[in-house]
Amino acid sequence: MEKNQAKLEISKQFSCSKEQLFASWTEPEQLKQWWKPLGKKLEQVTNRLNEGGTIRYQFDGDSLLVTGTYEKVDGNTLLEYTWNWHLKTDLVEDAEYKLAVRFEGDQDGSTLSVLQTGFENENGIEPHRQGWEQALVQLEEYINQESNAG
């Protein structure tokens, strides 16, 4: 299988509005509260939400860096962007992917769907699936905590 043919699709329902879900996904101060890939703390966020805009997430003293560029921004409904991991270890190679993140729903509930492409082969998908599942649980816990606090 050639690179870019393998893909990962995952979605989760949330008990919040689409607007709240989108804000939690994109606003730097909210993102820092819930997203902790590989157990790392998100310290600095650049998230320019426009086509051609840059993404830069720096974790724990630059131990992990995620960079990307928005290719499509359709309001608070769809984000398409490159997604490049840069890890400070020889054990894991840097990797470049593409994400399409869709936000659907209304005031009573919403769904976030992620499509990730750019895998070398099917074997690379499972660790990413586990990472996304963990991230979406963290996001759900954050949203529920914010709803209960408000």
Residue 1 inside a domain? The answer is no
Residue 26 inside a domain? The answer is yes
Residue 22 inside a domain? The answer is yes
Residue 48 inside a domain? The answer is yes
CB 112 within 8 A of CB 101: yes
Could you list the residue range(s) of the whole structural domain that residue 47 is in?
Answer: 6-149
pLDDT tens-digit series, residues 62-86: 778 899 999 999 999 999 999 988 8
Domain with 87 in it: what CATH number?
A: 3.30.530.20
The neighbouring-strand residues paired with 82 are 98
> First and final CA of the chain: distance in angstroms?
49
Residue 31 inside a domain? The answer is yes
Distances (CA, A) of 35 to 60, 61, 76, 145: 12, 16, 19, 14
pLDDT tens-digit series, residues 80-136: 999 988 876 644 455 789 999 999 999 889 999 999 999 888 888 888 899 999 999
Residue 4 φ/ψ region, left for φ over 0, alpha for ψ in the -120 to 50 degree band, beta for the rest: left
Residue 124 inside a domain? The answer is yes
Query: Global pTM?
Result: 0.89
Q: How many domains does the chain have?
A: 1
Residue 11 inside a domain? The answer is yes
